[in-house]
Chain A
Amino acid sequence: MGNLLEHMGIEKDRVHFSWISSAEATKFVDVVKEISDKVKALGPNKKFVKDYS
């Protein structure tokens, strides 16, 4: 799914897949941090967003 989204022009760093056990709190924090840093670097997403106006 990530590949097809990327193929359609959604930047790869916006979509993340992770496998985290409920016992892996540190991993969860690390992954969330990494994701938010990457998405912040990309700026707001304008693609695949519905305009309700």
Chain B
Amino acid sequence: MKFITIDKKDWAKGIDKSRGTYQLFGPVTDINGCQIKALDADVQPEMEYTDSVLSAKSVLFPQSEKILVTSLNEADDDHHIMKRADGDYTPRAVIGIRPYDARAIQLVKMNFDTEDYRDPYWCDAYEATTFVGLAINKPGPLDFSTSTGTGPFSEDGLDILLADMDDKFLAKVLTPKGEAYAAACGFNTEADAKESQVLFDVMRKDAEKTISSSVETDKLKDKTILDLYEAPFWDDVAFSCINCGTCTYVCPTCWCFDIQDENKLKASSRFRNWDTCMSPLFTRHATGHNPRGEKTMRVRQRFMHKLKYFLDKYDSGIMCVGCGRCVKSCPVNIDIRQVCETMNNYEKKE
């Protein structure tokens, strides 16, 4: 573990230097606000952003990804045999990722990288990626990350954690991947580790103190699934929901996808696209039967998955990192903090 000081005057030059070996992703502002995007060669990551509309999950898990290809031409020997599509898994780095987004990627990893199954697309992308986090000195009003097992200075899932100190960044290099990235940038002014850690701790405490929003999840574990499932409050929670996919798409921990084939002439490609449990199509069977045919069932599913099923299955807390994006973006203001409170405090009436 070491600390590096990076003078902001040298920052852009270092970032540019790293482009030789890394494809860069980072926050940029366009007409619709801040987005985490692949950075063109002349674009620097914006290190003073409040938050991106969508999370950084798309760096590893694009909204549309071609996964398999095949030929439909029966003259070809290997026609109709699906083969993995070409993907670019050369080193990439995501600069300025928020600590809670990095934590979210660790939660998503539990799904894509298990002992039994390994999603090759996500895992290859994960291995190719260096996560350069930016600590949040001034958390926003919707940030409740400290009560979800992460926080503005959380190091979980990061290779480097940067702290903005006005004229410079203080970088805590956490992994060999992080070291390699710092070297590629030519950032090598080492800072005293002990002093730097003290500085980090002070800044972390200051940042955490400004967080006023939180959720309580302590009682969720002891509830039985069926009690929560059959609880009477779901119709009220779901009434205003319009069943758009906004909450799931902006969510850094939502990992569900749909598979689609697209053919042109004799070439066929198989894609996976983000899917959303808010859509009736998500569960509609080929027969036409839909086990989650009603809006209330779908809303319940989202919260039960995040706040109960995940918690029970992995014993790693809830499947929410407290970024507040769904609270902010929901067109009808369904607030996961309120739903969590309702679930946490629910007692079945005998």
Contact = CB atoms under 8 A, between A and B. Distances in A.
- Touching chains A and B, CB distance < 8 Å: yes
SS of B interface (majority): strand
Interface residues of A, number: 1
Interface residues of B, number: 4
B329 interface: no
Interface string B258-272: 000010100101000
A30 to B, nearest CB: 33
A52 B265 CA distance: 10
Contacts of B264: 52
A52 B269 CA distance: 9
Interface in B250-283: 262, 264, 267, 269
A52 B262 CA distance: 8
Interface string A21-53: 000000000000000000000000000000010
Nearest to B264: A52
B268 to A, nearest CB: 10
A43 B261 CA distance: 31
A52 B264 CA distance: 7
A49 to B, nearest CB: 11
Nearest to A50: B264
A41 B269 CA distance: 34
Contacts of B267: 52
Interface in B134-171: none
4 contacts: A52-B262, A52-B264, A52-B267, A52-B269
Interface of B: 262, 264, 267, 269
| A-B complex: 4 closest residue pairs judged by Cβ atoms | A52-B264, A52-B262, A52-B267, A52-B269
